[in-house]
């Protein structure tokens, strides 16, 4: 395989030419993920009426990783089995 790339932030071929992430790829991935986290926190503050500190504590403690924990921490409004969710959507979207 011949790989041609120009510049430092070209990571698509890294799995074929490196054994670990380059520092440039690590930087761009960290930046992207931090931006996505910031957007998610912003939307949770707006829509769930939780403080940013509360959301950060939930994330730090992994307190949203199960349905029960997500419900306890007000990240979701309810828990449904698939058939219950289908019925809910059918009823509310008609």
39-75 pLDDT, tens digit per residue, is 999 999 999 999 999 999 999 999 999 999 999 999 9
**Predicted confidence band of residue 20 (pLDDT cuts 50, 70, 90):** very high
Residue 7 counted as domain residue:
no
Which residues constitute the domain of residue 38? 14-93
Residue 3 counted as domain residue:
no
Tokens of 76: 């979701």
Provide the pLDDT for residue 8. 82
Residue 6 counted as domain residue:
no
pTM of the model: 0.71
**Predicted confidence band of residue 9 (pLDDT cuts 50, 70, 90):** confident
pLDDT above 70: percentage of residues in the chain: 100
Residue 1 counted as domain residue:
no
Residue 88 counted as domain residue:
yes
Q: How many domains does the chain have?
A: 1
Q: How many residues does the chain have?
A: 94
Q: Which residue has the tokens 């504590």?
A: 57
């Amino acid at each position: 395989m011949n790989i041609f790339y120009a510049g430092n932030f070209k990571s698509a071929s890294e799995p074929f030419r490196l054994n670990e992430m380059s520092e440039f790829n690590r930087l761009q991935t960290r930046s992207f993920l931090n931006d996505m986290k910031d957007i998610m926190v912003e939307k949770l503050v707006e829509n769930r009426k939780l403080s940013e500190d509360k959301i950060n504590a939930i994330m730090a403690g992994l307190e949203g990783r199960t349905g029960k924990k997500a419900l306890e921490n007000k990240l979701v409004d309810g828990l449904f089995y698939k058939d219950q969710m289908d019925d809910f959507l059918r009823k509310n979207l008609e």
